[in-house]
Amino acid sequence: MNALSFLQQVDENQERILRTYEELHCMPEPAWKEFRTTQYVAERMRKMGLKVIAAKPTGVVGFWRGKSGGPAVGLRADLDALLYHDGQEETAVHACGHDAHTAMVLSTAEILSCSGFYPPGEIRFLFQPAEEKAAGALCFIEQGFLDNVDYLVGIHLRPAEEARYGQASPAVLHGSSLVLEGTIYGQASHSARPHLGINVINAAAAVINAINAVSVDPRVPASAKVTRLQAGGEAHNIIPDRALFTIDLRAQNNETMTELRDKVERAVKAATGTVGAQVDMKELAYVPAARVDEEMLEKARWAIREVMGEDGLLPPIITPGGEDFHFYSYHLPRLKSIMIGLGCDLVPGLHHPQMTFRKDALLQGVKILGLIILKLLNGS
């Protein structure tokens, strides 16, 4: 199969691609509970004749092995939806485009497998759970689904302020994000005798000031801020002896994140010590920053030009948001990976429960993914 033939096949399957998206959109499931979605994707891949292996507890991988000796290429999508409170109930909503990502990767697999194409190598279609928990990629790595994969491609819808319909970026350069939780321990006493206690609110105030004073190289985007603080109870005349706080850290590269974390942890311990309090800290969540592979960058640029023309090709998008996709190259250094950013006039923004976008952009996404696969396998 050549590039022109694949592009024609996408146009001919437009209705099926959009219907696939609508079906997935109607079954939103939160992280680690993507049971219906997993079953849906698995059944579709079995009908394609792919070898299908279920992940634990959710997620699924389709294996398509062709001629031996060629590279192994992976296409990755995420399955989970987000939870929102609707009155008294919690409702799952696809507000980050994971239904769209799954539809594009599944449709790419379907068009390639039904066209008589026989890959000179191997293609793996990876549908991972729990991206929103920053845990699905690690789960797939631990279960060996990325073993011996040479190239990995992902795709993500982008908000309108980053990319409009008819535009795409060859790489979304997510930053590293880290959430730390701290517990401050003081000494309770009557508020009339504060000298007998250690007030954790004073310690927390010192922590906030210390974190705000932390600095790293200003040429690299980075931030650290307290995002939650809880201390004291209903009684107003007790010096509180315990406080809970969280710190959100962001950095555009992994080296800066390491430096920032070290400085923040030292600042927190020093600050609590100024009032005689103690502090324990633990990591709640972490994702690494993107790493750019120049070979993958060039192949992605080529595919976008073929689909959207030179005017539709954007530079790499730098964003402070995090993505667990980057765990793959972080833990598997030999893996060459890229995440495409697809413009689709998405408003009002990712993670908004009323998020909407132009559905016909999915056809462009399928075309880009298919061309990258053909380029990686055929080399021309």
- Domain co-membership, 202 together with 312: no
| Residue 348: cis peptide before it, omega within 30 degrees of 0 | yes
pTM of the entire predicted model: 0.92
Average pLDDT over residues 140-162: 98
Residue 14 phi/psi, 5° resolution?
Answer: -55, -50
State which residues form the domain around 83: 3-174+290-378
- Tens digits of per-residue pLDDT, 77-105? 999 999 999 878 899 999 999 999 999 99
- Domain co-membership, 141 together with 153: yes
- Tens digits of per-residue pLDDT, 303-349? 999 999 999 999 999 998 899 999 999 999 999 999 999 999 999 99
- Domain co-membership, 87 together with 164: yes
96 is in an annotated binding site: yes
351 is in an annotated binding site: yes
Give me the DSSP letters along 298-321.
HHHHHHHHHHH-GGGBPPPEEES-
The yes-or-no verdict on residue 380 having pLDDT over 60 is: no
Give the whole-number percent of the chain exceeding pLDDT 90: 94
Residues 6+ apart with CB under 8 A from 153: 73, 74, 75, 76, 296, 300, 337, 338, 339, 340, 369, 372, 373, 376
Secondary structure class of 377 (helix, strand, coil): helix
236 is in an annotated binding site: no
- Cα separation, 63 vs 48, whole angstroms: 11
- Domain co-membership, 277 together with 308: no
- Domain co-membership, 157 together with 275: no
- Cα separation, 136 vs 78, whole angstroms: 8
Looking up residue 227, the CATH number of its domain turns out to be 3.30.70.360
- Domain co-membership, 11 together with 93: yes
- Domain co-membership, 72 together with 87: yes
Confidence of residue 232 (pLDDT cuts 50, 70, 90): very high
- Domain co-membership, 124 together with 35: yes
Looking up residue 320, the CATH number of its domain turns out to be 3.40.630.10
The yes-or-no verdict on residue 147 having pLDDT over 80 is: yes
Confidence of residue 2 (pLDDT cuts 50, 70, 90): confident
- Domain co-membership, 20 together with 156: yes
- Domain co-membership, 138 together with 244: no
Number of independent structural domains in the chain: 2
